[in-house]
Amino acid sequence: MRLAELGWFAPWDSVQATSQTAGRGQLRRRWHSPPGNVYAALRLPLTPPFATTAAAPAVAALLAGGLAEVGWSVRIKWPNDLVLVSPAGEVRKVGGILLEERGGVLVAGVGINVLCPPSPDFLRKGCAMRATSLAEADFSGRLPLAEELWPLLVNCAFSAYDAYSSSALYWKTHAESMLLWRHEQVELREGSHRVCGTLEGLTEEGGLRLSSGWREQEFLSGSLYPCP
């Protein structure tokens, strides 16, 4: 935020660190940051969809699309996780996004496990899936270094945004095409509340659409799990 105040951090500018000595994830959870992974902050323009509650899945879809262009099979776990899908269909978390807006400046904090995932000790109890890294996935060619990968992802994200920003619902179509567990039975948890249903897709506001029987419900928050 300080860089933005000084005029050194315009929309689509980013800052990348080689490692972190302190960090936090969604809901202020601990965030382990071993060297060799992507730790970056990307400033986003305060324009749709980023100026709305759709920002998290929209950013996740842009970055997942960039990783897919490089060669990984990636999906988004609503609202803001990046997930690798193995040829056998196994899913593991490979990254996450944390949005923060202050004083008209919107920044996406991005973490992507390139060389190594966090220790299981840093994963919260009852997490939906195990963590992995890009290095552990099937990949043809040389694994890019974190400092090589991040500029590629930013360029892919900006190019997609620039090409389709005039289409109000492009982000929704794009995000739904990369949505993990779409048309499958899932469970949404928020505190002690549990809702099971079929994941139909996203709302224009970035919320989740779940159907059960003849009823469809919309949610803007919660943690998603496969149905037990």
Residues 53-81 pLDDT 10s: 999 999 999 999 999 999 999 999 999 99
Q: Are residues 21 and 109 in the same domain?
A: yes
**Residues above pLDDT 90, as percent of the chain:** 64
Q: Are residues 157 and 219 in the same domain?
A: no
Structural domain of residue 54, as residue ranges? Answer: 2-177
Q: Which amino acid is at 180?
A: L
Residue environment code for 63-83, b if the CB has 16+ CB neighbours within 10 A, otherwise e: bbbbbeeeebbbbbbbbbbbb
pLDDT on residue 72: 93
Residue environment code for 196-228, b if the CB has 16+ CB neighbours within 10 A, otherwise e: ebbbbbbbeebbbbbeeeeeeeebeebbbbeee
Indicate whether 94 pLDDT > 90. Answer: yes
Q: Are residues 192 and 172 in the same domain?
A: no
Kindly state the average pLDDT of the residues 92-98. 95
Q: Which amino acid is at 150?
A: W
Q: What is the total count of domains within the chain?
A: 2
Q: Which amino acid is at 135?
A: A
Flag the least confident range among 16-20, 75-79, 170-174, 177-181. 16-20
Query: Rounded distance, CA 28 to CA 7, Å?
Result: 28
Q: Are residues 84 and 169 in the same domain?
A: yes
Here the CATH number for the domain that contains residue 205 is 2.30.30
Does an H or E element contain 5, and which? helix 2-5
Q: Compute CA distances 207 → 9, 114, 118, whole Å.
A: 29, 29, 28
Half-sphere exposure at residue 126, Cβ-oriented, CA atoms within 13 angstroms: 7
If pLDDT is split at 50, 70 and 90, which confidence band does 210 have? very high
pLDDT on residue 35: 82
Residues 6+ apart with CB under 8 A from 93: 77, 81, 82, 83, 84, 127, 128, 129, 130, 131, 132
pLDDT on residue 9: 85
Higher pLDDT, 19 or 85: 85
Q: Are residues 107 and 216 in the same domain?
A: no
Give the number of residues written for the chain: 228
pLDDT on residue 6: 63
Q: Are residues 208 and 127 in the same domain?
A: no
Q: Are residues 41 and 144 in the same domain?
A: yes
Mean pLDDT for all residues in the chain: 88
Here the CATH number for the domain that contains residue 81 is 3.30.930.10
Query: What is the pTM for the complete model shown?
Result: 0.89
Indicate whether 128 pLDDT > 80. Answer: no
Angle (CA) 227-129-119 rounded to 5° is 160
